[in-house]
Amino acid sequence: MKAAVFHKPGQIQVDNVDDPGLIDPTDVILKVTSTAICGSDLHILSGAVPQAGNMIMGHEFMGIVEEVGKGVKKLKKGDRVVVPFPLSCGHCFFCNHGASPHCEQSNYKNYGPNGNLTDQKGGALFGYTDLYGGYSGGQAEYVRVPYADISPRIVPDKLSDDQALFLTDIFPTGWSAIDWAQLKGGETVAIFGSGPVGLMAQKAAWVNGAGRVIAIDPLEYRLKKARDVNHVTTLNPHDVEVVEAIRGMTEGRGADVCVDAVGFEPERTMMDKLKATINFEKGSMKVLDMAFRTVRRGGTVSIVGVYGSTYDNFPLHRVFDKAITIKQGQAPVINYIDKLITLVEENKVVLDDIISHTLPLSEASKGYEIFDKKEDDCVKVVLKP
């Protein structure tokens, strides 16, 4: 079959590889119909999240059940399913505590340097390096889905692939960022990063009753997308001092909730160029620093952007003084997905309006290139095997 394969940093290409087969009785094999490239995949492409050998990419995918393991009870051949990006065994300590991204069973390979299990034990994602279990991803014609009775959800017939695909990851991720802040209604929510995850957090903020949603991004075309599809207020740090601007909108207090939908910033030429043009005088452009300065006293900073290394000069004094609540992590997709499928089905939220590029799987490398470099007004790339 064809698959988008990571070879080394900077090199993801479409190769012919062996078809996956059933391994455990609780597996299914899915024939992938749609799969997307995620900002998280760019951390692998850049080498910031390391992977030693070749690996099939992709944790955002859906498709048709092709083969069913003997132990699978809920799915049958021909079912059309969407698959949450964290694997979940459904019965370990963490799965029982609503923390499926920390599933102990699905990542037994996560050993430390001395061969001992580290305190990082647990947590497996499709197509997300040996650190996260070493599972092949779904940017491929077929993919093996373990624990098939636990996470995959049957997609209602009336939903197209494009309407359903982002239930794998980015909508539940944007949703969790807002859910962690427990809005009561009328809040000002400032969302840093207006990429796919930020756009989904904007949608989630409105559905959860925000009074004002502010999108911040240095890329003007992404702010335009945010205005067009989500009707939010936008701020470009090239034009305004963001922290001051948001204080000005909130009687000096700051936003009730700040979402970091950017994450750590690898040395990407494109972003470096952008940042070099930003006025640093009034503070750092580092997104977390901006979020801690922007949030009001007693407010919440939700971090869904991925961090994979230490963060120097962490402003603990500000977090303490302002009594900020910080929530972060990989989104526990299965906690939200059933409710979110219903929201999409009932047309309470539209997800496919962020897709800017649909390409055949054979053009995956081009998809990575434009999404990474933010070329051709790229917002979200969907691949069709």
Residue 261, contacted partner among Zn ion, ligand NAD, none, CB below 5-8 A by kind = ligand NAD
Smallest distance, Å, CB 372 to ligand NAD?
8
Smallest distance, Å, CB 270 to ligand NAD?
9
Measured from the CB atom, the residue of 262 and 324 that comes closer to ligand NAD is 262
Which are the contacts of 345, defined by CB distance < 8 A and separation ≥ 6? 156, 158, 159
* The dihedral sign for the CA sequence 361, 134, 48, 319: positive
In the chain, the N- to C-terminal Cα span, in Å, equals 10
Smallest distance, Å, CB 106 to ligand NAD?
16
Q: How many CA atoms lie within 13 A of 113 on its CB side?
A: 0
The site for ligand NAD (CB under 6 A) is made up of 38-40, 42-43, 169-170, 173, 192-198, 216-219, 222, 261-263, 271, 285, 287, 304-306, 330-331
Q: CB atoms < 10 A from the CB of 338, how many?
A: 10
Smallest distance, Å, CB 168 to Zn ion?
7
Measured from the CB atom, the residue of 139 and 163 that comes closer to Zn ion is 139
Smallest distance, Å, CB 268 to Zn ion?
17
Measured from the CB atom, the residue of 29 and 226 that comes closer to ligand NAD is 226
Stretch that binds Zn ion, among 64-72, 149-157, 163-171, 174-182 (CB under 5 A): 163-171
Measured from the CB atom, the residue of 59 and 79 that comes closer to ligand NAD is 59
Residue 383, contacted partner among Zn ion, ligand NAD, none, CB below 5-8 A by kind = none
Measured from the CB atom, the residue of 22 and 46 that comes closer to ligand NAD is 46
40 scored as a contact of Zn ion (CB under 5 A)? yes
Greatest CA separation found in the chain? 63
Smallest distance, Å, CB 99 to ligand NAD?
13
Residue 192, contacted partner among ligand NAD, Zn ion, none, CB below 5-8 A by kind = ligand NAD
Q: What share of the chain is helix, strand, coil (3-state, %, to 5)?
A: 30, 25, 45
Rounded Cα distance, 208 and 186, in Å:
9
Smallest distance, Å, CB 137 to ligand NAD?
14
Could you list the beta-strand ranges (E) of the chain: 2-8, 11-16, 28-36, 55-56, 60-68, 80-83, 142-145, 153-154, 188-192, 212-216, 233-235, 255-260, 295-303, 325-328, 357-360, 381-384
217 scored as a contact of Zn ion (CB under 5 A)? no
Secondary structure of residue 78 in the 3-state scheme: coil
103 scored as a contact of Zn ion (CB under 5 A)? no
Which are the contacts of 322, defined by CB distance < 8 A and separation ≥ 6? 292, 295, 296, 297, 298, 299
Among 27, 79, 141, 169, binds Zn ion (CB under 5 A): 169
CB 308 within 8 A of CB 49: yes
Distance of CA 207 to the CA centre of its chain: 19
Among 147, 94, 85, 154, residue whose Cα is nearest residue 120: 94
Measured from the CB atom, the residue of 2 and 233 that comes closer to ligand NAD is 233
Measured from the CB atom, the residue of 142 and 264 that comes closer to ligand NAD is 264
Smallest distance, Å, CB 101 to Zn ion?
12
Q: Which residues bind Zn ion (CB under 5 A)?
A: 38, 40, 169
